[in-house]
Structure 1
């Protein structure tokens, strides 16, 4: 599977053929994916849904972890599909190019982790065009692949606009996560409050707390405390400052609150910690 790195393009079109069946293979997708099934059967399992796919149908799978099973069918026992991978960057370019595109309401369940499309005239011709382009060679240019992706996304915007809304939301969440990481991992003044971090991230306090906890696996207040105490422990190990001089640099307003927090995490008072660990 392509990985979303600078070494690979934003859009990635590949044919896929196998003569081996597979059962519940663990897949981590760093790209979003349109999967067009030509021969065989496919079962996809995300955390909240499982679906069996038959030839002619196609899938829109968001980036993330899933389980996939592939079953051979037909006279020649072959599994065939065409895969169109696309990154968050490709999605951002699409939504930037079509700023007035309104996803609106659609038939796709908004909480469903992926979408299944039934074959119709457009999709049949679209897949045929992909297979012809892949078989003609040479390798498709990145611009051509991006145009085919745009064509398909515009089709989705008409047929299942709610599915496009899910993609738009995923891009927005990625952008928010990148903003949070950039802010909290930068050189920031000590002390700094959670409210100030939320402001720097251009988010409400409740949104920031929710996004932060999902991203770092801990509430921002707890994370800030851990960062302050890590700074204090590093200063104490260096041995050039007394414990009574460290608390201010670690962002504590009083020595008593610093001692209390430090002992909860390290099991020792700052002074005893320094005596045991100073280099």
Structure 2
């Protein structure tokens, strides 16, 4: 198999909010994923479903300077068309993880190999064949893992959940307040109101404070370098992190090392 990293289906945002389900096959390398509560590691030949309406991030490690993956997007429009065409029986399967690891089966590598004649070498499969191959993959997956229907064909919005628990679990993700509101099943105004009642603070101030408290602990107690942790704590750049840290604690993060 020699297929470079490619995507099949509509483009999705690279942010840490997952807007559509997608299938991920790791051809070469190592991928470490995190969804706020669980760490997941995929190695060459592993594959999984990454669920929409979750917060998740992942980082890659090369093997022999190589990293290759295949991503197939199962967006809602495609899934509704598939459901109308095939009418799969929906199972009641509601795991809480963003990454659904799937057991090994010979049909999946065979499917990946079948993409090679249609691969243009630029990260895409020929448009005319994309939906046909997505249907083929989904039929294979549902034959192997019928429980996936409970995930893929659930088109509802996130339900109202415990805001305090959710924020304490997911504060490290770098997404907007609107995303947090949506994922907790609230309008933006309801989210801000409930947040104020629970934390006695605004979401933006609370997030900065919470992230910086964690940063102080990691640098002071765990002796981790600021450059190694700022991204995982939801900061976009090191200079912004250092400025916010000094403003809160009166010292630079490096002075704790």
Aligning the two structures, in what range does the TM-score lie when normalised by the shorter sequence? 0.5 to 0.7
Task: Determine if the alignment matches structure 1 residue 173 to structure 2 residue 157.
Answer: yes
| Aligned residues of 2:56 and 2:98 also touching (Cα < 8 A) | no
Q: Distance in 1 between matches of 2:16 and 2:24?
A: 14
The residue correspondences of 1:75-86 to structure 2 (distance < 5 A) are: 77-86=65-74
For residues 55 and 18 of structure 2, the distance between their equivalents in structure 1, rounded to whole angstroms, comes to 6
Q: Who is 2:80 aligned against?
A: 92
Matched, 1:126 2:111: yes
Determine which of 63, 71, 82 is the counterpart of 2:61: 71
Q: Which residue of 1 aligns with 2:9?
A: 11
Matched residue, 2:206 = none
Distance 2:99 2:92 in 1: 16
Q: Give the CA deviation at 1:53.
A: 0.4
Q: CA deviation at 1:217?
A: 4.8
After TM superposition, the structure 1 = structure 2 runs for residues 182-201 of structure 1, keeping only pairs within 5 Å, are none
Superposition TM-score, scaled by structure 1 size: 0.49
Distance 1:118 1:55, change over 3 A: farther
Give the deviation of 1:114 after TM superposition: 2.4
Report matched runs for 1:18-167 at 5 Å: 27-63=16-52, 64-74=54-64, 77-99=65-87, 101-104=88-91, 110-135=95-120, 140-167=125-152
Please state which structure has a larger fraction of its residues in helix: 1
RMSD of Structure 2 on Structure 1 (CA)? 3.7
Alpha-carbon offset, residue 154 of structure 1: 1.6
Unaligned runs of 5+ in 2: 1-7, 161-181, 195-257
1:30-85: CA deviation from partner (whole Å, max 9, x where unpaired): 332211101100011113322100111112112242120111113xx111111212
**Equivalent residue of 1:73, what SS?**
coil
The residue correspondences of 1:199-214 to structure 2 (distance < 5 A) are 214=185
Provide the rounded CA distance (Å) in 1 between the counterparts of 2:187 and 2:10: 30
Shift of 1:215: 3.2
Gapped runs of 5+ residues in structure 1? 1-9, 14-24, 178-210, 224-279
Structure with the greater alpha carbon radius of gyration: 1
Instruction: Indicate the structure whose relative CO is greater, using CA pairs within 8 Å and at least 6 residues apart.
Output: 2
Query: Residue 44 of structure 1 contacts residue 52 of structure 1 at CA under 8 Å; is this kept in 2?
Result: yes
- Judge conservation of contact 1:36–1:57 (CA < 8 Å) in 2: yes
Q: Distance in 2 between matches of 1:47 and 1:94?
A: 31
